[in-house]
Amino acid sequence: MELGIYTFAETTPDPRTGRTISPQERLRDLLEEIARKHPRVMRDPAPTSRVKSLGDFGVNLELTTWLANLAEGESEVRSALFKQLLKAFRDEGIAIAYRRREAAPIPTSATEESDD
């Protein structure tokens, strides 16, 4: 499962340790926590997340899980994990950073004539 780029509203200390963790650490913890809760995600080997690459607008993360009963397919698990991640991101104030695109008309001879 590959995830895109995210921004945080704020960073707060971990309530258990008092240590402030980096945004990447928090996201990795969140990914693994959500994956562990899914009934088809195996506990051993445990879900793992890692920095996959540096993108144009941020850091790309990857979540790896092992599924019980692969014959049932993976798409439902993938969909359920994405839905849970989106909900968790909203709850935590994490926004997905989308690439902005702008469209502008290109003048042509037809549009130049209509301006007269």
Residue-range domain boundaries for the chain? 2-114
Please tell me the least confidently modeled range out of 12-21, 37-46, 78-87, 94-103.
12-21
Q: Would you state the structure tokens that stand for residue 68, as one six-digit string?
A: 């019980």
| pLDDT tens-digit readout, 15-39 | 677 777 677 788 888 999 999 999 9
pTM to 2 decimal places: 0.66
Q: Would you state the structure tokens that stand for residue 69, as one six-digit string?
A: 């009963």
pLDDT at 78: 92
CATH number of the structural domain 2-114 = 3.30.70.100
Distance (Å, rounded) from C-alpha 29 to C-alpha 59? 15
**Axis-axis angle for helices 75-92, 23-37 (nearest 10):** 130
Strand partners, 42: none
Q: Would you state the structure tokens that stand for residue 86, as one six-digit string?
A: 């989106």
Three-state DSSP state, 60: strand
Q: Would you state the structure tokens that stand for residue 115, as one six-digit string?
A: 């301006």
